[in-house]
Structure 1
Amino acid sequence: MKTLQKITLAFFVFLSINAAAQETIIPEIKYADLEKYIELAKQNFPRKKMYDVMKESSKVAIPLANLSYLDIFTGSYFYRPEDRSVLNPVNPYSVNGFQFGINVNLGNLLSKPFLVKRAKLEYKVLEYQAEEYNLTIAQEVRGRYYDYIQTITLLKLNTQMAQENKGVSESLRNRFEKGEITLDAYNQSRINQFNSMQAKIQAETTYLKAKDLLEQIIGSKLSDVK
């Protein structure tokens, strides 16, 4: 039992020394790459494209609202041949030939300024929403990128631990075969090796998921980003 404790203690001291060089992920963060990912997300993410289309549609509605001022006026004309008798001889305004008229819809006249103003306000609202979404998507990209960097670091540590556990287990197997350590000490090393390999596989899965999430939001493979 004392031999097992010494081996375990020495192993964790060794790991602690090797892990000291990876106490932080901050040096791994490349802000130039992060800015590229944010710009790609703004260009490619479907929801961002939807906001852009909505904003453009609202922008088009403004000149259409201005042109709708013409709806206020309606023109009409009446033609009566010159060789016909007048419709009403008493009414001097009822004559032969062409008669033109323009009608003004007062309801439309009063409502048009408000409709134009509403179209402009709706466009302004969509502008603000697009600006807000730019901030939101930038923050989302940052979060996914930091998670991605974290998974890379954890994968490196777990891979290193798995390799070192494998080396320790093989060394103890040789010592066990020579009768230098007990079966319990050898079995414990195998358990440690299994646990570290399992942690490595979990770290690989977490890394792949984080990578997929980052690529999803930027709309491009990380390997394609220059």
Structure 2
Amino acid sequence: MLGILLVSSFFVQQVRAQETLIPDINYGYLEKLIATAKKNYPEIKVRQAQVDAARATYHQANVSWLDAFTASYIYSPKSSLNLIQPTIFNGYQLSISINLGQFLAKPFASKAAKEAVKVAQFQQQEYDLQLAAIVKRFYFQYLAAQADLRLRSGAVIDGQTAVKQLKYSFQKGETTFQVYNEALTSLYQQGGFKVTAELAMLTAKTNLEEVLGVKLEEVK
């Protein structure tokens, strides 16, 4: 009787041990998780703000070409006579001066600002890839934790069934107290493993929700 119980328990545990999390992976849902993280995670917003700031600096550099030019005017009334600095033209006279050094530096400043935009965009793209990888890793860890919890829960159920049957056999004198006690000890151990698996599953879920910015149940 005991041999049959042990073989049966071993067979069930072997079948469950062959479980795989591959069928649990939902790639469509995974893409939704990645999109949610990119929408909510604060660092993504920081990267976008850096791109916007770099673009603003670039546009400012293009407009600042006018800074090299200085315009002024002189007004000479027609009725006045200036013997010290005689003028040929009367009325308003417009003059434009140029800061040559500043003028020549503008193309380089504009190019530097343009390159800064590219750098900010590349950094944003790099972080997008990093965030996607983080979400995938946490998602797979969460699925693995769920699979492990299923195994541990199944082992506890199997252990409870074996203990009940062994208790009945022990009461009828068909098995020894040592065998019954070993089954009880194994059941307690499986219960501890289940609690550890529950903690691992909750931790994996928390890690995933941290990068999502929302509860996992909110992602449909």
Tell me the TM-score normalised to structure 2 length.
0.90
| Contact 2:5-2:162 at 8 Å conserved across structures | no
CA distance in 2, matches of 1:27, 1:96: 91
CA distance in 1, matches of 2:135, 2:16: 31
Partner of 2:9: 11
Partner of 1:142: 136
**1:17 CA drift (Å):** 3.4
**1:172 CA drift (Å):** 1.5
Q: How does 1:54-203 map to 2 (within 5 A)?
A: 54-79=50-75, 81-82=77-78, 84-86=80-82, 88-89=84-85, 91-92=86-87, 97-203=91-197
What's the C-alpha RMSD, in Å, of the aligned pairs?
2.2
Q: Secondary structure at the match of 1:220?
A: coil
Structure 1: state its 5+ residue gaps: none
| Contact 1:51-1:130 at 8 Å conserved across structures | yes
Residues 196 and 84 (structure 1), Cα distance of their counterparts in 2 relative to 1, 3 Å cut: same
Answering whether residue 215 of structure 2 is matched by residue 221 of structure 1, we say: yes
CA distance in 2, matches of 1:17, 1:28: 17
Q: Secondary structure at the match of 1:100?
A: strand
Letter of the 1:190 partner, please give it: L
CA distance in 1, matches of 2:167, 2:43: 57
CA distance in 2, matches of 1:209, 1:15: 25
Give percent identity, aligned residues only. Answer: 35
**1:51 CA drift (Å):** 0.6
- The superposition leaves residues 128-148 of structure 1 with CA deviations (integer Å, 9 ceiling, x where unpaired) of 111122211111111111111
Structure 2: state its 5+ residue gaps: none
Residues 213 and 68 (structure 1), Cα distance of their counterparts in 2 relative to 1, 3 Å cut: same
Equivalent pairs counted in the alignment come to 220
| Contact 2:16-2:151 at 8 Å conserved across structures | no
| Contact 2:163-2:184 at 8 Å conserved across structures | yes
**1:180 CA drift (Å):** 2.3
Q: How does 1:206-217 map to 2 (within 5 A)?
A: 206-217=200-211
Letter of the 1:193 partner, please give it: L
Q: Secondary structure at the match of 2:183?
A: helix
- The superposition leaves residues 6-38 of structure 1 with CA deviations (integer Å, 9 ceiling, x where unpaired) of 754553233213444x2x211111111011111
CA distance in 2, matches of 1:97, 1:165: 107
**1:101 CA drift (Å):** 2.0
CA distance in 2, matches of 1:221, 1:166: 34
CA distance in 1, matches of 2:6, 2:186: 10
CA distance in 2, matches of 1:34, 1:88: 84
20, 27, 31: which one pairs with 2:23? 27
CA distance in 2, matches of 1:207, 1:168: 27
Letter of the 1:86 partner, please give it: N
CA distance in 1, matches of 2:12, 2:21: 21
Tell me the TM-score normalised to structure 1 length.
0.88
